[in-house]
Amino acid sequence: MRVSEVMTRDVRVANPSETIRQAARMMAEIDAGVVPVGDNDRLVGMLTDRDIAIRAVADGKGPDTTVGEVMTTDVKYCFEDEEAEQVCRNLGDQQIRRIPVVDRQKRLVGILSLGDLAISGAGGTGATGEALAAISRPGGPHSQTSRDRQ
């Protein structure tokens, strides 16, 4: 099964010049803990509720801090025409639960979550559980304590 068959297509996007207050309101409206960050039709980052809490609030930054100051810039993504089972394995390897989906022109077309894979069965027999176990290991390159945000 291809990623395009199981991904979520209706994705709200934050802009790097918006404030984290605006982004947090958007997250509340859509009941999500992560939003892609786009600039001029290109994916430039990801912003999570943890980015706001740890990279902004814990560092004493206020609600008018821009998304661009605290977003994760090292964005992992997948292509809409990739096999979902392979992407599921990659989620575990990279220790991430959600990944933006782009077309071959690298324009954002959706987002794929571990939940999407589990519900559809596209992760393959046992692959979704294995990915969750790998994602749940402490630490890793996307640890919030890492200050190396390119």
pLDDT in tens, 17-46: 999 999 999 999 998 899 999 998 789 999
Q: How far apart are the C-alpha atoms of 92 and 131, rounded to whole Å?
A: 4
What is the overall mean pLDDT for the chain? 84
Helices 127-135 and 84-94, packing angle to 10 deg: 20
Work out whether the CA dihedral 132, 117, 22, 25 comes out positive or negative.
negative
**Predicted structure pTM score:** 0.77
Q: Going from the N-terminus, what domains does the chain have, and what CATH number goes with each? A: 3-135 (3.10.580.10)
Nearest alpha carbon to residue 2 among 125, 117, 94: 117
Span 91-133, pLDDT tens digits = 878 888 889 999 999 899 999 988 888 777 765 555 555 555 4
Where do we find the tokens 């209706």?
A: 10
Task: Check residues 149 and 72 and name the one with the higher pLDDT.
Answer: 72
Q: What pLDDT score was predicted for residue 122?
A: 60
- Per-residue pLDDT band for 85 (boundaries 50, 70, 90) equals confident
Q: How far apart, in Å, do the first and last CA atoms of the chain sit?
A: 33
Question: 148 pLDDT exceeds 50?
Answer: no
Name the DSSP class of 94: H
Instruction: Average the pLDDT over 62-72 and give the result.
Output: 97
